[in-house]
Structure formats: C-alpha cells, structure tokens
Structure 1
Amino acid sequence: MKKPQPGGGQIAVLIVLFFLLVWEAAVSLSQIPVYLLPAPSRILQTLFEHPQLYAQASLLTLGEAFAGLLIGLLAGVLIASLLTLMPGLEEGVMTLAILLKSTPLVAIAPLLTIWLGFGILPKIIITALLTFFPVLVNVLSGLQKAENHHLELFHSWHASRGEVFRYLRAPNALPYLFAALKISAPLALIGAVVAEWTGASGGLGRVMWLAYTNLNLPFLFAAIFILAAAGMSLYRLTVWLERRIIFWQSHPEP
C-alpha cells in the first residue's frame, strides 16, 4: 500500500518551524544582543505580554489592507473590462496606469497624509494604488487571451460583444484574477504598513515605527511576525477560494 504523502501545508509548517528553531539556536549560541536580533522565544513572549496592543493594531492594519485591496480589485477588474469592450482606450489608459505605478508610493503617502489627515483614508488609498496595477494587468491579459476557435464559434452563433464577454472572456480571466490576488493580497499589507509609517495614530506600522525609533526589536519583530502570518493566511485563503470557484481546473494538493 502506498504511504500518504504530506500535503503542502504540512511541509510549509515544518519548514517554518525548522527556520525558527535554527534562528533560536543561532541567537542562543552566538549570544547576539537582543537589541540586534531577538530570539523567536523572546518575540513570542512580547506578543503574549501585550495581546491587547497587538490585537488592536492588527485589526486596524488588516481593516485598511482589506479595504484597499477590495477597492484596488474592483477598480482593476472594471477598467480591464472596459478596455476589453473598448480596445481603443487601452493605450492611453495603460500609459496612465504605468505612470501611476512608476511613481514611488513612499512619496505619495506623506502628501495624502497632509491632505487627508492621519485617519484611515490615506492608508486605504495607498493600499488600493499598490494592489490596482497587478489586478489590471493580469485580468486584462486573461480577458484578451480567448482562443480564436472559441471566438469563431461564438461569432457563428451571432453572439453579441456582451455575450462573448460574459460567457467566454470572463470565465477565461478567472485564473488570471486569482494569480493577481496571490500577488496583491500580501502587497495590501505592505501598503497599509508603509502608509502608517508616514503618519498614523495606530496600527502595526505605527507600532513598528515606535519600536524602531526606540531600538525595541522584540516589539518590532512581534509586529513583523503578525504581518508574516497574515500574509501567509491571505495567500492560503486565495488558493482555497481558487480551488472552489475554478472547480473545472485541476489543482495540486495544498
């Protein structure tokens, strides 16, 4: 009888645990000062000693990230759909999108903070700008890559442009959409944190900034651990949704 093989999720957990054990041993054996590199046990102790602080900061940052991701996702899908139905607009719109993508967000974030204040709105806008471009490019590629013989078949049925889009192009673009989400979901967390660094009253970015200015590395790494766990969870959630929504495709076991 063939032995069951461990799934990808189990292997990922084992790799992370192995990495943390090596980190712990290296810090202990080398006696690295805590202000240079804290051990994982010290970082976890910090998390357990300040659960309310990190819970409130995490909720705020995750809320900003989700809101920005949703706006970036909707904007990317809508504009990609518009460019597919009206291809004459593609060159001009994509030029503007590339210019926006090429602009450093670390330069835009302080301006938005000055204009809109220290609330969550600037953070959501920065996150949306960061996640918008991958969604736009991937979804547009998926919508435009319909097979010629499928298009000819729809044309032989005298299908309208809207029907071709709904029944052929949109299903064809779903794998590209989820590929974009696998990139954009972790990026949303980065966007929210970077925006919080430029000025915020709360959130993991503010916790990290205050810890950095005080050389409190256990506090800093505790926030990094939360962000890493959130990023991995978002990626796994995206893979899970992909497996259930695009059920007609074969997927490797997670």
Structure 2
Amino acid sequence: MSEVRTVTEPMSTAPTLDGADGGAGRPVHATSLASRLGWRVWAPPAITFLAVGLLWQIVALANPFVIPTIDAIAASIAADPQMYWSNLLVTLLEVAVGAGAGIVAGFLLAVVMAEFEIMERAMMPLFVVIMVTPIVAIAPALVVAFGFGMAPKFIVTGLVVFFPMLVNSLAGLRDVDVRALDVLRTLHASRWEIFRDLRFPGSMPFVFAGLRVSLPLAIVGAAVAEFVAAGQQAGLGSLVTISAAQANLPVTWASIALLCVMGIVLVALLALVKKRTLWWSDENTVAR
C-alpha cells in the first residue's frame, strides 16, 4: 500500500507596495489598474477646458468687439512670436528674481520666528500692515525710491509672495511631533540638530503648500507691477496695458493667455518636484 504524503504549502499572498505605514500598501494589480485608468485623472479637466473653449468661441463669434475668437488669439501669437517671447522672458525674470527673493526671505524669517517667539510678536504686526496695504498704492512710491528700472517690479513681486510663504513656513516649523522633540531634547540635541532633523523635514509639506499659493501670486504680482510701476515698457503685463489702450483685443488676450500658461507650467513643475521630494508624505502615498 503506497503511502500518501501530504505536502502543506504556505498560503501565497499578493505582492504589495510598501506605503508610509511600514509595509501596508495596495496590491500591485490595483496600482496597475489605476495606471490603466489614468484617463480618470486627465479627462475631467480636459472636458472642462473643451467646454469653456467652445463657450468662448460661441460668445466671441456673437460679440467680436468684446472678446476675440481663439483662432484670432492663436494667429496673433503666430504672427509675431518674437514679440511675445521677449515680453514673456521679462515677466519670467521678474517672477524668478522677485518671487525667489520673497520666498527665501519668508522662509528665513519663519525660521527666526519659530526659534525666537519674541521675534514673531515684534515683527508680525509690521508684516500684516504691509500686506494689507494695496500693492497698487505702494508701486508708485517704489518707483520714486528705486527709479524706473526693474527694481520696483522685483520688490512688488516679492512682497506679493512674502506673506503666504512666511505664514505657511512658520506653521510648518511649529507643527512638530512633541514626542520626537522630547526625545531630541532628552539626548541634549542642539537647536541646529533639532532644526535639521525635525523641524525642517517636518515643515516641507507646509512649505510646498506655501509655494503652491505663492507661485501663481508671483505672476499676478509681476503683471500688476508692470501695470502700475512706470518705467520700462516690457513684459506681458505692459503688453496687456498697451494693446488694451489701442483696442487690440487679440494681442491683449494672447498676452493674458500666455500669463495663464506660465502659471500652469510653474504649478505643474512644483507638483513634480513635490512628488519627487516628499515621496514619504501621506498625500503622495495615497496618490500612488
């Protein structure tokens, strides 16, 4: 009589993707399914933009002296791309220099305020007063103080992004894990070590939230600076002002469209950098 041997094999489990919770991730097949259904991500905004474009075209055909058609806007850009490109570079320079300075200043002051609470009590009221002052009222005074060059436009752009960056960064630097902070203090960690190992990494989601607000505002600030700061007539904002005064609607709306495209590109690049930098955050883990 032959012996029947029973082999017991361990139950196989579906491979999973490690998440931020230490290994509890979604099955691989779920991720691949989500990637196959990527149209769920891009289809809704695409349909929205198509609907808005169709509505725009209908209104433009019915009211040619109010807004130009989309093909007229595209034809204006194609007719003189060098003009639009040169003005776009001027506005981009204002955003890069002005917003860059405002973002760095806002973050550095947030670090000082997070470390020394008395600095927040002393300086925050002044910053609030500056932020509630209409920027269109400050710009002419900056022209008088700094001349007719690019400096007033840099300052206006920096002021627009400074306060959102300051507030978000300060909130992030203050929002630390109390237990981790107690452990570091128990180990006699220095202020720099606490900042490097705890406050700075923990503030990054807040910093990126501030950047997401600040970058679109930087484009608005640059355009407003070109509107109200006299001097060099260059940039997409200046092009909007000049073409509107001449009732040249295609150029006006082409300049506005390029400002919108610039903002979309900056926000998209920021989202890409955030995904690569904060791969460990809960938001990105859920998105994957």
Same fold per superposition (TM over 0.5): yes
Q: Distance in 1 between matches of 2:46 and 2:155?
A: 34
| RCO comparison, higher one (Cα < 8 Å, 6+) | 1
- The answer to whether the Cα contact below 8 Å between 1:131 and 1:184 also exists between their aligned partners in 2 is yes
CA distance 1:215–1:128, shift in 2 (3 Å): same
- The answer to whether the Cα contact below 8 Å between 1:119 and 1:201 also exists between their aligned partners in 2 is no
Greater shift, 195-204 or 169-178, is seen at 195-204
Greater shift, 242-251 or 18-27, is seen at 18-27
- The answer to whether the Cα contact below 8 Å between 1:7 and 1:253 also exists between their aligned partners in 2 is no
Q: Distance in 2 between matches of 1:187 and 1:246?
A: 23
CA shift for structure 1 position 9: 4.4
Aligned to 2:257: 225
Identity over the aligned pairs, expressed in percent?
34
Alignment of 1:169-248 (within 5 A): 169-198=199-228, 199=230, 200-248=232-280
Counterpart AA for 2:181: L
1:23 to 45, 50, 56: 56
Greater shift, 243-252 or 143-152, is seen at 243-252
Q: Distance in 1 between matches of 2:126 and 2:171?
A: 17
Residue 36 of structure 1 aligns to a residue in which SS?
A: coil
CA distance 1:159–1:168, shift in 2 (3 Å): same
Counterpart AA for 1:5: G
Aligned to 2:281: 249
Q: Structure 1 regions of 5+ residues with no counterpart?
A: none
Q: Computing the radius of gyration over CA atoms, which structure comes out larger, 1 or 2?
A: 2
CA shift for structure 1 position 233: 0.8
Aligned to 1:105: 135
CA distance 1:184–1:7, shift in 2 (3 Å): farther
Counterpart AA for 1:165: F
Aligned to 2:6: none
1:124 to 141, 144, 154: 154
- The answer to whether the Cα contact below 8 Å between 2:60 and 2:66 also exists between their aligned partners in 1 is no
- Does 1:91 find its partner at 2:121? yes
Greater shift, 225-234 or 82-91, is seen at 82-91
Counterpart AA for 1:127: T
Q: Structure 2 regions of 5+ residues with no counterpart?
A: 1-28
CA shift for structure 1 position 10: 5.1
Q: Distance in 2 between matches of 1:235 and 1:157?
A: 40
Q: Distance in 2 between matches of 1:237 and 1:11?
A: 20
Aligned to 1:6: 39
- The answer to whether the Cα contact below 8 Å between 2:142 and 2:152 also exists between their aligned partners in 1 is yes
Q: TM-score, normalised by structure 2?
A: 0.83
Alignment of 1:52-71 (within 5 A): 52-71=82-101
- The answer to whether the Cα contact below 8 Å between 2:60 and 2:67 also exists between their aligned partners in 1 is yes
CA shift for structure 1 position 203: 0.8
Greater shift, 116-125 or 165-174, is seen at 116-125
- The answer to whether the Cα contact below 8 Å between 1:118 and 1:201 also exists between their aligned partners in 2 is no
Equivalences, count: 251
CA shift for structure 1 position 253: 4.7
CA shift for structure 1 position 118: 2.4
- Does 1:37 find its partner at 2:67? yes
Counterpart AA for 1:16: F
For residues 167-223 of structure 1, what are the alpha-carbon distances to aligned partners after superposition, in whole Å with 9 as ceiling and x for unaligned? Answer: 101111100100001010011111111111122321111111011112211111000
C-alpha RMSD of the superposition: 1.7
Q: Distance in 1 between matches of 2:178 and 2:163?
A: 27
Counterpart AA for 2:118: G
Q: Distance in 1 between matches of 2:40 and 2:176?
A: 33
Q: Distance in 2 between matches of 1:212 and 1:158?
A: 63
Q: TM-score, normalised by structure 1?
A: 0.93
- The answer to whether the Cα contact below 8 Å between 1:8 and 1:253 also exists between their aligned partners in 2 is no
Counterpart AA for 1:32: N
